[in-house]
Amino acid sequence: MERRRVLVIEDEVLINKFLESRLRKEELDVDVAYDGLEAIDLINRNRYDLVITDLMLPNVAGLELVMNIRRSELNTGTPVIVLSSLSSDDVIEDVLSIGAQDYIAKPFSIHVVLAKVKQLLSLAQSSAA
Amino acid sequence: MQFSNYPVIILVALAVAMLAILITIGTLAVIYLHRVYIRMRQKKQQEAEDAILDELNEHVLSYDSVKDIPEKELNAMLRKLDSLKNHSLIYRNTLVRILVGFRLNFSGKIARIVNATFTRLKLREFTLGKLKSAVWFLRVQGLKEVQEMHDGHSIRLVMALANDRNVDVRVSAYSALLQLNQKNPFGFMEQECEELTRWHQLFLLDAVQKANLKVVPDFKSYLGSGNDSLVLLSLKLIAQYNQLNALPKLMALLQHANEAIRHEGIGVLGQLGDEEAALRLIEVYPKETRDNRAHILTALGTIRHPPTFDFIVDQFLSTDDFILLKSAAAAMNGFQAELRAEKLPDTLRLRHEQQLVIRHFEEPLNQYGAA
């Protein structure tokens, strides 16, 4: 079976590396980006099955990044999970209204993230089939 | 060559030039050595970070609970981390920073494993040692670590630092107690006598927001404090928690002698206020300073009580002060378009400056946050 490809965008090295390591253990192919520009470059070059992104990123803000994903040729329908320490209702509303599928507030449980990743990947797979 | 044959002025100039060259070379050497030192330190930090993150991610944090880790493997992992910890002070500080970072960003089982690892590696003692340091910023660093690791057992030491002579240490202790002392998190509001800076106030406000408090006190009870900075902090907290029952006290605060308190109070009334508050703001308007008048107009634009619209229009038409003109225009923009069309004179009869300001606030991109 083809391995699913996930992009993790997070400027905090320890979170980025931890997510990368845990997602690889779930037999996913993982690319990582540490800032918005690096992420846009990867999004324009590759097709991903899922994107996990922080909101406060260097160079390009997370909201703008999600809008870029929605406008991109290869990833316009890719599900997006936003991870952020900004947890006000306004922010969550903004994030979901511009097309992110889910929002997880920091501090977060890795098991919740893994469950949502699995759920979104299987939803995407069943809608593609 | 006989220097003594030269005039004194030339000798002095030569000496000054030589000195300048020596100082320049010395400064460049210091800058270069400092850069080399910083680069070496960064390289070591990077090495430490990579080694520690690899060990944590590959072994410790891949389990769901410390109990799930086989005893033999657990001992081997702890030995490895212990040797990393004892490698050098850079490694130890990096290990603490990484574990605190994990604790700050993760909840659930990972948070519990991080706490257990922190304790088993005796890093807690290392952090508590910082609380007893003679250097104030190490005490602050220790307090931050205790707070972020949610180390409730250290509460006594933290409480002792709430009486520290250094205000930064005290404020960090208050911040830690907001997290750790669920019984009386706001005890500092009754004890602090020194003026807290704006930065301290915002630092504490941020700590309150992150503390996940089960019960939030009535902050209006602190509005009578003799410490004006605590009154300002209370005002920010009243706004943060939308404590509407503070409205009568907020209106009374408009008579306060301190202009900064009146200014903050006006802003909070704008956020929480009702019709009564809007009328009270109009009452105090003539007695206020220029900045506070502008703030009152902004607050009226946020409350949007229709009978106050005429007052705002009057200020807009009568003032020559640009700040007041701008605030009045922004406030008018907060009201319904029909009301504006009905009450505002034909724009052709307005001065050029007034027309420009109105047009500015009608631009969709300028409307966000204008009122």
Smallest Cα–Cα separation from A56: which of A71, A34, A78, A27?
A: A34
CB < 8 Å to B62, chain A: 21-22, 25
What is the pLDDT at residue B370? Answer: 47
Q: Which two tokens stand for residue A33?
A: 């980006």
For B153, residues 6+ apart whose C-beta sits below 8 A from its C-beta are: none
pLDDT given at position B170 = 96
φ and ψ at residue A98, rounded to 5 degrees:
-90, 5
Note the pLDDT of residue B1.
59
Residue B231 vs residue A85, higher pLDDT: B231
- A12-48 pLDDT, tens digit per residue, is 998 999 999 999 988 999 999 999 999 999 999 999 9
Would you state the pLDDT for residue B367?
Answer: 67
Which is nearest to A107 in space by CA: B167, B262, B114, B138?
Answer: B114
What's the whole-number mean pLDDT along residues A114-124?
Answer: 91
Which amino acid is residue B80, in one-letter code?
A: K
Sign of CA dihedral B92, B98, B99, B101: positive
Distant-in-sequence, close-in-space partners of B152: CB < 8 Å, separation ≥ 6: B180
Retrieve residue B328's tokens: 């009045």
Longest dimension (CA), chain B: 96
Q: Which residues of A touch B104 (CB under 8 A)?
A: 107
Question: Quick count: other Cβ atoms within 10 Å of Cβ B284?
Answer: 16
Q: How far apart are the first and last CA of chain A?
A: 14
What does the alpha-carbon distance between residue A19 and residue B278 come to, in Å, rounded to a whole number?
Answer: 51
Find tokens 């106030």 and name the residue. B201
Name the more confident of A127 and B166: B166
Please report, in tens digits, the pLDDT of each residue of chain B (371 residues total).
Answer: 567 788 889 989 999 999 999 999 999 999 999 999 999 999 999 999 999 998 888 877 877 777 777 778 888 888 888 998 888 889 999 999 999 999 989 888 888 888 888 998 899 999 999 999 999 999 999 999 999 999 888 999 999 999 999 999 999 999 999 999 888 899 889 888 899 999 999 999 999 988 878 888 899 999 999 999 999 999 999 999 999 999 999 999 999 999 999 999 999 999 998 889 999 999 999 999 999 999 999 999 999 998 899 999 999 999 999 999 999 999 998 888 788 778 777 766 788 888 899 888 888 777 655 44
Write down the pLDDT at residue B209: 87
**pLDDT at residue B348, rounded to an integer:** 66
Q: Using only the alpha carbons of chain B, give its radius of gyration.
A: 30
How far the first Cα of chain B sits from its last, in Å, is 80
ipTM score: 0.85
Q: Is B363 left (phi over 0), alpha (psi -120 to 50) or beta?
A: beta
CA distances from B20 to B14, B34, B52 (A): 10, 21, 47
Chain A residues with CB inside 8 Å of B52's CB?
none
Q: What is the pLDDT, as a whole number, of residue B368? A: 58
Residue A71 has pLDDT above 60, yes or no: yes
Residues belonging to chain B with any Cβ–Cβ distance to chain A shorter than 8 Å: 49, 53, 56-58, 61-62, 64, 98, 101-111
Report the 10 Å Cβ neighbour count for B65: 11
- Are B108 and A12 a contacting pair at CB < 8 A? no
DSSP string, B278-327: HHHHHHHGGGS-HHHHHHHHHHHHHH--GGGHHHHHHHHHH---HHHHHH
Tokens of A55: 């909101």
| Rounded-to-5 percentages of helix, strand, coil across chain A | 45, 20, 35
Distance CA B181, CA B184 (A): 6
Which pair of tokens denotes residue B36? 């080399």
Q: What is the pTM of this model?
A: 0.80
Alpha carbon distances (Å) from B173 to B40, B102, B141, B163, B237: 34, 22, 11, 9, 19
C-beta separation of B270 from B300 below 8 A: yes
Strand, helix or coil for residue A50: strand
Q: Inspect the interface and report whether the beta carbons of B108 and A112 lie closer than 8 Å.
A: yes
Cβ atoms of A114 and A22 closer than 8 Å: yes
Which of B97, B110, B115 is the best mutation test for A, with the most CBs of A within 10 A? B110
Distances (CA, A) of B9 to B1, B16, B21, B186: 17, 11, 18, 70
Give dist(CA B228, CA B247) in Å, integer.
19
- Tell me if A18 and B102 make a contact (CB, 8 A cut-off): yes
Alpha carbons B115 and B129: distance in angstroms, whole number? 18
Residues of A in Cβ contact (< 8 Å) with B57: 17-18, 21-22
Predicted local confidence at residue B345, as pLDDT: 72
